[in-house]
Chain A
Amino acid sequence: MIGSGRFRRYATGYAFILPWILGLTFLVAGPFLAAGYFSLCEYPPLKDPMYIGGANYAELLGDPSFHRALGVTMLYAAAAIPLGVILAMTLAMLLNARIRGQSFYRVIFYLPHLVPTVVVAILWMWIFNAKAGLLNFVIGRLFAAGDWWTGLFFDVAALKVGKFVIHGGACWLLAAPALAAATWGPLARRLWPRENSRLRQLVCLAAIMAIVLAALPLLSAAAHTLRPEDVRKFRSPGWLTDGDPMPAGVGFAPSWALWSLIIMSMWSVGQMAVIYLAKLQDVPVELYEAAEIDGASWWRKTVSVTIPMISPVILFNVVMAIIGAFQVFAEPYIMTGGGPEDKTRFVAMFVYEQAFRYHRLGYASAVAAVLFVIIIALTLVAFRVSKKHVHYSGR
């Protein structure tokens, strides 16, 4: 071919990335600029856009329903992201343990991510159904008096001490500290000097289970004393139809409907967990061994070695989750349609509605522009915060 070798090389390079350039122009950059222009217009879908200057933005600043939608989205992000990260990390660490059947567990926890969004929405709408749904059935059983082990919750909540003792709950409550002392601390060192004695391990297992089993009725009793309105409502909640804040009395708290959506999003942490898992397996073993030599406990090892090593992934996931929260659409659209009193109207739904229900494409574009700015701001904040905490292992 004619032309200098360098020109030819550059041309080949551009030819290879040509699809991407086209995509960038027509699907990203072009629409971006167009959205900017439309946000300055009044644009009903079957007519031409009409330039009106910054009127859309002025309206946006004073629009209470937009503020509400933004509030809902931020609340959702503030609750779902930390919970999701913690849950995913815990899950990843558990899935990383060298126990039998690990591949089986990994599949189980990844399954919900494979379920299509529409199915997740419909399925959880059914589960949250106040009358015939699974969740209220389980809760109803937990709060029903009479069963041996479920009676525990009810009795403690009602503080009927006599039955409580008879049902054996008291035994766990008393046994738990005794067992705990027997496995950790000076008492343990006196009782069984050899650390890996079978008996000590058995007692340790019993202690952990006793603490967990005793903690549940204690938490229930505490909740019942401190926040009786919440517990009463929890006995048969309306889930998706309930617009009251939970915890009750806290004005800005997410409503029950929003909490339902948050619980539902916890169901899909499998994907995040798998990514953490992959990164966890990359953590060099030498670091752990070094920590052990220094006498670090399990918790210390997690905090000082595991978390810093996977912190880039955590940052990545947090940023993607922030962006994701601003794109939550299908679930509230199908399940609540905006929810009781707009309590589950997310910003993506707000944009969709402005565009396709109220036929205001210009206004919707202005909202989208503002959202973009907010997302960038939040991402920058995340990166700024991460500078101190995220550790890159370098390549």
Chain B
Amino acid sequence: MRGVHFILAAIVLVVVMVAWFEPRPDVAEYDPAVHAAFKDTWAKRVHITYWEKWGSFEAEAAQKMVDAFNASQDEVFCHYIRTSQVDRKAMLAIVGGQPPDVVGLWSDNVAPYAEADALMPLDDLMARAGLGDDHYIPNYLEMCRYDGRTYVLPTAPVSIALFYNLDHFRAKAAQLRAAGLDPNHPPRTIAELDRYADVLTVMAPDGTPDVMGFLPTEPGWYHVAWPYYFGGGLFDANGSPTPDLPANVRAFEWLKGYARRYGRDNLTRFRQGFGNFDSPQNAFIDGKVSMVLHGVFFPQFIDRHRPHLHYGVAPFPCAPGVRGPRSFLNEDNIGIPRGCKHPEAAWKFVLWTQTRGLEILNRLQGKHLPLARVPDSFRQGHPNRFLKVFEDLARSPEACVIPTSIVWREYSDEYKRGFDHIWHWQVPKSALDGLTGAERDQETRQLTREEIVRTLTDMRETIEGKLRRKLERTEQRKARAAQ
């Protein structure tokens, strides 16, 4: 062979070798600094990976739970891997054929993952382990189910409530009393909430608020909850989408009232300076917003950034005629991806979390438990002062949950878009020409209501169309498979 042929052959050989011998990421890396305690049993344990979403102290809490699991037995070793955007990455990994053994997801993800056959159903395993329905608060288990089967199990539950800044309340005690409101108690109805918000809002000379009494778009996570506080909802009993219920329209009118009263652009400018939930510039933590709708995890973040903040927590008020106390529930959960390497070991871990691990995790993360029976040791010394409020809300018969639906991902995206649209929509100037005072207000309200109804009706039609299509395709697929 001449020289250049040889070179070419060598190059091709090198390439093939690089391709062939590409190292797969090795899970069971022994790190003496971290794993010294497990040296003896390292080799004989089954090593599993657990992808989870949390950061900062929540991640440490999860790590502590995993450490406790590893220390409690010597057959399985769980490697906890902090993953951002875990639902996207996990789906990619499952589709690509290299999934982790245990994955932490959000309740939004259950239906799409289940429908895509990406998770192992856990019913048989639960039955064999004796983990029955009565182990859980029903709502939290319902969020783990799709089409009658359980695909995930809850880890960290969330319920939401009204957080109110007591310092602000007391500073404005005189004005509150003058308006007939009690500075030592939170608002009990939506109308009261509006009046509290009015008194507590401090405007700067240029029209931008300095402090807002209440801002519905802060933190902006629970937009889907508003209709429930007004007695409406996003699905009916059959799972059909119902975004355009009259109660929902009322909810949106109430929300839009804030944008209109304080000026949408003013509020945008006001919001620009906020940090997110884990930052000292968070609106509530920084004292920029007096009342906010937030979740059971929030007190821990407040404690981290402004421990001397005097605040209280109460159930968020409902609209008149709506039974309370009411909360919207959500959760973090874990599942076992289909095609993972060690499903039995993964199940051992998942089972342990449901019996022992949840206590450790939720105690350290400051949340309540999704379980029906709560041991006293959990409540004693719990870091969350307001644990009882959230627990009562979670167990209340009026607690609301989004049913796991095949179309929820599209629905929630559409809903968010619709919310943004309504919030930013302004009545065209031409429609208000020549009107003043009360007439103008009347016309504005009328046009706003029409726009809200139109947006929600469009939303319903779109989602109904998508739902219909999905069901058709599922039917088609079943029919063809049967042939």
Chain A directly contacts chain B within the complex, with at least one CB pair under 8 Å: yes
A residues lining the B interface (CB < 8 Å)? 42, 44-47, 50, 52, 59, 64, 130-131, 233, 236, 238, 241-244, 340-342, 356-359
Q: Check if A47 sits within 8 Å of B421, measured CB to CB.
A: no
Q: Write out the residue numbers on chain A whose beta carbons fall within 8 Å of the beta carbon of B338.
A: 46
Given A342-B417, A359-B116, decide whether A238 and B272 contact each other with a Cβ distance below 8 A. yes
Q: Check if A356 sits within 8 Å of B88, measured CB to CB.
A: yes
Tell me the minimal C-beta distance from A145 to chain B in angstroms: 13
Tell me the minimal C-beta distance from B118 to chain A in angstroms: 6
Q: Write out the residue numbers on chain B whose beta carbons fall within 8 Å of the beta carbon of A236.
A: 269, 272
Q: How distant is the Cα of A359 from the Cα of B92 in the complex, in angstroms?
A: 10
Q: Write out the residue numbers on chain A whose beta carbons fall within 8 Å of the beta carbon of B272.
A: 130-131, 236, 238, 241
List B371-427 residues whose CB lies under 8 Å from chain A: 409-410, 417, 420-421, 424
Q: Check if A243 sits within 8 Å of B420, measured CB to CB.
A: yes
Binds A, one of B136-144, B157-165, B473-481: B473-481
Interface membership of B310, Cβ < 8 A: no
Q: Rank and list the top 4 A-B pairs by shortest CB-CB distance, nearest first.
A: A130-B272, A131-B273, A45-B95, A341-B420
Residue on B with the closest CB to A249? Answer: B429
Q: How distant is the Cα of A26 from the Cα of B118 in the complex, in angstroms?
A: 28
Q: Write out the residue numbers on chain A whose beta carbons fall within 8 Å of the beta carbon of B118.
A: 46
Q: A358-B112, A359-B116 are in contact. List 15 more A-B contacts (CB 8 A).
A: A42-B473, A42-B477, A46-B118, A47-B117, A50-B480, A59-B469, A241-B268, A244-B424, A341-B417, A341-B420, A356-B91, A356-B92, A359-B91, A359-B112, A359-B115
Q: How distant is the Cα of A230 from the Cα of B125 in the complex, in angstroms?
A: 62
Q: How distant is the Cα of A359 from the Cα of B477 in the complex, in angstroms?
A: 16
Q: How distant is the Cα of A236 from the Cα of B272 in the complex, in angstroms?
A: 10
Q: Mark B105-141, 1 if CB is under 8 A from A, else 0.
A: 0000000100111100000000000000000000000
Given A236-B269, A356-B88, decide whether A46 and B116 contact each other with a Cβ distance below 8 A. yes
Q: Write out the residue numbers on chain B whose beta carbons fall within 8 Å of the beta carbon of A46.
A: 94-95, 116-118, 338
Interface pairs (11), CB distance under 8 Å: A44-B116, A47-B116, A50-B473, A50-B477, A50-B480, A130-B272, A130-B273, A238-B268, A243-B420, A341-B424, A358-B112
Partner of B409, one of A42, A45, A244, A358: A358
Residue on A with the closest CB to B418? Answer: A341
Interface membership of B265, Cβ < 8 A: yes
Q: How distant is the Cα of A339 from the Cα of B178 in the complex, in angstroms?
A: 44
Q: How distant is the Cα of A148 from the Cα of B268 in the complex, in angstroms?
A: 30
Q: Write out the residue numbers on chain A whose beta carbons fall within 8 Å of the beta carbon of B420.
A: 243, 340-341
Residue on B with the closest CB to A51? Answer: B480
Tell me the minimal C-beta distance from A95 to chain B in angstroms: 38
Q: How distant is the Cα of A45 from the Cα of B117 in the complex, in angstroms?
A: 9
- Chain A interface, >50% SS class: loop
Tell me the minimal C-beta distance from A211 to chain B in angstroms: 34
Q: How distant is the Cα of A130 from the Cα of B95 in the complex, in angstroms?
A: 38
Q: Write out the residue numbers on chain A whose beta carbons fall within 8 Å of the beta carbon of B265.
A: 233
Q: Write out the residue numbers on chain B whose beta carbons fall within 8 Å of the beta carbon of A238.
A: 268-269, 272
Q: Write out the residue numbers on chain B whose beta carbons fall within 8 Å of the beta carbon of A52.
A: 473, 476
Interface magnitude class on chain B: 20 to 34
Q: How distant is the Cα of A131 from the Cα of B271 in the complex, in angstroms?
A: 10
Tell me the minimal C-beta distance from A245 to chain B in angstroms: 11
Q: How distant is the Cα of A50 from the Cα of B481 in the complex, in angstroms?
A: 10
List B80-113 residues whose CB lies under 8 Å from chain A: 88, 91-92, 94-95, 112
Q: Write out the residue numbers on chain A whose beta carbons fall within 8 Å of the beta carbon of B112.
A: 358-359
Q: Write out the residue numbers on chain B whose beta carbons fall within 8 Å of the beta carbon of A342.
A: 417
Partner of A357, one of B88, B95, B480: B88
Tell me the minimal C-beta distance from A135 to chain B in angstroms: 12
Q: How distant is the Cα of A42 from the Cα of B476 in the complex, in angstroms?
A: 10
Q: How distant is the Cα of A44 from the Cα of B116 in the complex, in angstroms?
A: 7
Q: Mark B263-298, 1 if CB is under 8 A from A, else 0.
A: 001001100110000000000000000000000000
Q: How distant is the Cα of A48 from the Cα of B476 in the complex, in angstroms?
A: 13
Partner of A47, one of B88, B410, B417, B477: B477
Q: How distant is the Cα of A174 from the Cα of B86 in the complex, in angstroms?
A: 63
Q: Check if A341 sits within 8 Å of B421, measured CB to CB.
A: yes
Tell me the minimal C-beta distance from B374 to chain A in angstroms: 37
Q: How distant is the Cα of A373 from the Cα of B244 in the complex, in angstroms?
A: 38
Q: How distant is the Cα of A46 from the Cα of B90 in the complex, in angstroms?
A: 13
Tell me the minimal C-beta distance from A268 to chain B in angstroms: 26
Given A46-B116, A50-B480, decide whether A242 and B409 contact each other with a Cβ distance below 8 A. no
Q: Write out the residue numbers on chain A whose beta carbons fall within 8 Å of the beta carbon of B417.
A: 341-342
Q: How distant is the Cα of A356 from the Cα of B93 in the complex, in angstroms?
A: 11
Q: How distant is the Cα of A238 from the Cα of B420 in the complex, in angstroms?
A: 15
Q: Write out the residue numbers on chain B whose beta carbons fall within 8 Å of the beta carbon of A42.
A: 473, 476-477
Q: How distant is the Cα of A161 from the Cα of B155 in the complex, in angstroms?
A: 67
Tell me the minimal C-beta distance from B73 to chain A in angstroms: 32
Given A42-B473, A358-B410, decide whether A243 and B269 contact each other with a Cβ distance below 8 A. no
Q: How distant is the Cα of A311 from the Cα of B157 in the complex, in angstroms?
A: 63
Q: How distant is the Cα of A295 from the Cα of B465 in the complex, in angstroms?
A: 69
Tell me the minimal C-beta distance from B168 to chain A in angstroms: 22
Tell me the minimal C-beta distance from A136 to chain B in angstroms: 8
Q: Write out the residue numbers on chain B whose beta carbons fall within 8 Å of the beta carbon of A359.
A: 91, 112, 115-116
Q: How distant is the Cα of A47 from the Cα of B112 in the complex, in angstroms?
A: 13
Residue on A with the closest CB to B462? Answer: A64
Q: Write out the residue numbers on chain B whose beta carbons fall within 8 Å of the beta carbon of A341.
A: 417, 420-421, 424
Q: Write out the residue numbers on chain B whose beta carbons fall within 8 Å of the beta carbon of A64.
A: 462
Q: How distant is the Cα of A323 from the Cα of B118 in the complex, in angstroms?
A: 35
Q: How distant is the Cα of A352 from the Cα of B287 in the complex, in angstroms?
A: 40
Q: How distant is the Cα of A298 from the Cα of B92 in the complex, in angstroms?
A: 57
Q: How distant is the Cα of A164 from the Cα of B420 in the complex, in angstroms?
A: 42
Q: Write out the residue numbers on chain A whose beta carbons fall within 8 Å of the beta carbon of B88.
A: 356-357
Q: Write out the residue numbers on chain A whose beta carbons fall within 8 Å of the beta carbon of B421.
A: 341
Q: Check if A50 sits within 8 Å of B476, measured CB to CB.
A: yes
Q: How distant is the Cα of A126 from the Cα of B244 in the complex, in angstroms?
A: 38
Q: How distant is the Cα of A236 from the Cα of B91 in the complex, in angstroms?
A: 40
Q: How distant is the Cα of A342 from the Cα of B413 in the complex, in angstroms?
A: 10
Tell me the minimal C-beta distance from B83 to chain A in angstroms: 16
Q: Write out the residue numbers on chain A whose beta carbons fall within 8 Å of the beta carbon of B424.
A: 243-244, 340-341
Q: Write out the residue numbers on chain A whose beta carbons fall within 8 Å of the beta carbon of B116.
A: 44-47, 359
Q: How distant is the Cα of A241 from the Cα of B269 in the complex, in angstroms?
A: 10
Best-surrounded residue of A46, A238, A357, A359 (most CB of chain B within 10 A)? A46
Q: Write out the residue numbers on chain B whose beta carbons fall within 8 Å of the beta carbon of A131.
A: 272-273
Q: Write out the residue numbers on chain A whose beta carbons fall within 8 Å of the beta carbon of B476.
A: 42, 50, 52
List B331-363 residues whose CB lies under 8 Å from chain A: 338
Q: How distant is the Cα of A358 from the Cα of B109 in the complex, in angstroms?
A: 11
Tell me the minimal C-beta distance from A365 to chain B in angstroms: 15
Residue on A with the closest CB to B409? Answer: A358
Partner of A242, one of B91, B95, B268: B268
Residue on A with the closest CB to B95? Answer: A45
Q: Write out the residue numbers on chain A whose beta carbons fall within 8 Å of the beta carbon of B477.
A: 42, 47, 50
Residue on A with the closest CB to B264? Answer: A244
Tell me the minimal C-beta distance from A354 to chain B in angstroms: 10
Q: Write out the residue numbers on chain B whose beta carbons fall within 8 Å of the beta carbon of A242.
A: 268
Q: Mark B207-228, 1 if CB is under 8 A from A, else 0.
A: 0000000000000000000000
Q: Check if A357 sits within 8 Å of B409, measured CB to CB.
A: yes
Residue on A with the closest CB to B338? Answer: A46
Residue on B with the closest CB to A45? Answer: B95
Tell me the minimal C-beta distance from B337 to chain A in angstroms: 11
Q: Write out the residue numbers on chain B whose beta carbons fall within 8 Å of the beta carbon of A356.
A: 88, 91-92
Q: How distant is the Cα of A46 from the Cα of B112 in the complex, in angstroms?
A: 12
